[in-house]
Chain A
Amino acid sequence: MRAVSIGLGFLLAALLQLAGVTVWPEFALAFDLILVAVVFFARDGRAVAALLVGSAGGLLADALGGGPFGLHGFADTLVAYTTARVAQQLVVERSSGVLLVFTLASTLQQALLAALGLLFLPSVQLPAAPWMVARALSTGVAGLLLAVGQRAATRRLLARRERRRTGWRG
C-alpha cells in the first residue's frame, strides 16, 4: 500500500514538474517537486525506505531533467537518508519546523548538486543565487502545504472511523 502511494506520489510530482516546465521554462529552477515528494516520504524515519525512495526519486529527477543519471540520484538519496535520520531523532510537528526541514533539505540537495557538478561534469553552470533561494523556499512551502494537507486528511479519516465505530455500537 505504501509502495503504491509512493509510486502515485512520484507520478503526480513528475507530471506536475513536467507541466510546470512546459508552461514556464524557468519552473525547474524555482521548483523541485520530486524532492518535495522524497522528503515527504522520508519524514517517517525509516532509513532503508528513505534510501530507496531517495534513490528512485533522484533517478526520476535525472530522467526528467535529461540526465546525467546519478546526479540527482546521489543528492536525493543522501538528502532522504539525512531526513530520515533527523526524523528518528526529532519529532517535527509544528509548521515552522516542517517548513525548516523541507527548506534545509532543498538547501542540502542544491549544495550537493553544485559540488557533484563541479567535481564530475566537464562544464557546469550553477543557477543564480536568487533561483537557489527561491527553490529552497518553494520546497519549504510546498512541503508545508503537503504536510498540513496530510494532517487534515488523517484527522478526517480518524474522525470518520470513530463515528463509524460509535455508530455500530449504538
Chain B
Amino acid sequence: MSSRLGRPLLFLLLGAQLALLTWQVRRTHGTLGLAGEVTLRLTGPVAHAFRGAADRIAEVRLRAQQRRLLASENAALRAEVGELRRERLRLAALAVEADRLAAALAYERAQPLGLRAAEVVFVDHSSRVRSLVIRCGRGARINQAVVAEAGVVGRVIATAGGYARVQLLTDRAASLGAQLEEAGSQGLLRGGPDGQLRLEFVPRQLPVAIGDRVVTAGIDGVFPPGLPVGAVAGVEGGTEVFQTLRVAPAVDFRRLGMVFLVDGPAPPADELVRGGDAGR
C-alpha cells in the first residue's frame, strides 16, 4: 500500500508546495501572511531568548577575561609591593646601622681613652665560656679591655687575625676590681651563673642602696678606673665583716652590635665620660 501511495502522494505534496510557493510570490511584497505572522510570533520570542542567553554568555566570558587580567595584574602588584616592602626593610636596617655607627663614632671621639671600634660577630652563651666574637680589624691583644657605650663588656681572651674572643663580665670565671661609685668602697666583681654579677668583699657597715652605680676600680691592670659596670640589684650573704652585692650589668649583652677595644693607657678616673651620657 505504501509503494502504491508513495508516488501519488509525492506528486501531491510537491504540487502543493509549488502552489504555495507560487501563491506567496504573487502576493504583495512586504506582507507576511497568516502563516508568516504565526511563525514570527512563535520564533521571535525564542530567538530573543537565545539572543539574550548568548549576550549573557558573552558577558560572562568578558567578565572572566577581565577577572583573569585583574588577577594577573594583582599578582604583579603584590609582587611589587613585596619587593618594595623588602627594600623598605633593607633601608630601615641600613638606617639603624648608620645610627649605630654614628653613635659609636661619637662615643669613641668623646672618650679620652684610645678606643677602637670593633664589630660584634656573635655572642656565644652556649659554650663553656660566656663570650662574644668580635671583628677588630688590626687585631687585638690578650687581656685588652673591651667596653661598650653603656659600660664594661669584658676582656680579650683569644685572638686570631682580625678576630678576637672576648670573655664577658657575666662569665663565671671573669673577675675585675670594682668599686661603689658613691661610697668609694672597692671589692672584687665576679660573674654569676644567673647572668648577673657579684661584688664581694664590700664592708658590711657600708650603707648600700639598690641602684647604686658600680664602676671599675682600675686596680686590676686591665680596665681603666671609672668605667660603668652596673648597678646594685640586691644584697646577698657574705661573712661577718663583708657583704656580697648582686649587681645588674650596665651592658645588655644580647643587644651588642658594636664594642670598643681600649687601646690607650688608662687615664685618671675623673676624665672618663660616663658611658650612658656619651651615648646620648
Q: Interface on A for B, CB 8 Å cutoff?
A: 15, 18-19, 21-23, 46-48, 51, 55, 58, 63-64, 66-71, 73-74, 77-78, 81, 116, 120-122
Chain A hits for B19, CB < 8 A: 70
Within the complex, the shortest CB–CB distance from B212 to chain A, in Å, comes to: 93
The answer to whether A64 and B21 touch across the interface, beta carbons within 8 angstroms, is: no
Q: What are 23 A-B residue pairs whose CB atoms fall within 8 Å in the complex? A: A15-B46, A18-B47, A22-B47, A23-B50, A48-B6, A51-B6, A51-B10, A51-B13, A55-B17, A64-B39, A67-B35, A67-B39, A68-B24, A69-B24, A70-B18, A70-B20, A71-B21, A78-B10, A81-B6, A116-B21, A120-B22, A120-B25, A121-B25
Which residues of B, 17-68, contact A by the 8 Å Cβ criterion? 17-22, 24-25, 32-33, 35-36, 39-40, 42-43, 46-47, 50-51, 53-54
Chain A hits for B36, CB < 8 A: 63, 66-67, 69
The answer to whether A78 and B24 touch across the interface, beta carbons within 8 angstroms, is: no
The answer to whether A18 and B6 touch across the interface, beta carbons within 8 angstroms, is: no
Known: A18-B47, A18-B50. A77 touches B21 (CB 8 A): no
Does B3 have its Cβ within 8 Å of any Cβ on chain A?
Answer: yes
Q: How many angstroms from the CA of A77 to the CA of B6 in the assembled complex?
A: 12
Q: Interface on B for A, CB 8 Å cutoff?
A: 2-3, 5-6, 9-10, 13-14, 17-22, 24-25, 32-33, 35-36, 39-40, 42-43, 46-47, 50-51, 53-54
- New contact pairs (8) apart from A63-B42, A70-B19, CB-CB < 8 Å: A47-B10, A63-B35, A63-B36, A66-B36, A69-B24, A73-B20, A77-B13, A81-B6
Known: A63-B39, A66-B36, A120-B25. A21 touches B47 (CB 8 A): yes
Known: A22-B54, A77-B10. A48 touches B20 (CB 8 A): no
In this complex, what residue of A is CB-closest to B1? A48
The answer to whether A46 and B2 touch across the interface, beta carbons within 8 angstroms, is: yes
Q: How many angstroms from the CA of A19 to the CA of B24 in the assembled complex?
A: 27
| Chain A interface SS verdict (over half) | helix
The answer to whether B25 and A74 touch across the interface, beta carbons within 8 angstroms, is: no
In this complex, what residue of B is CB-closest to A72? B17
The answer to whether A48 and B2 touch across the interface, beta carbons within 8 angstroms, is: yes
Known: A23-B50, A55-B13, A67-B36. A47 touches B21 (CB 8 A): no
The answer to whether A74 and B51 touch across the interface, beta carbons within 8 angstroms, is: no
The answer to whether B43 and A18 touch across the interface, beta carbons within 8 angstroms, is: yes
Q: How many angstroms from the CA of A69 to the CA of B125 in the assembled complex?
A: 101
For the complex of A and B, 7 pairs with smallest distance between CB atoms:
A70-B21, A47-B6, A70-B20, A74-B17, A63-B39, A22-B50, A68-B24
The answer to whether B47 and A68 touch across the interface, beta carbons within 8 angstroms, is: no
Chain B hits for A58, CB < 8 A: 17
Chain A hits for B20, CB < 8 A: 68-70, 73
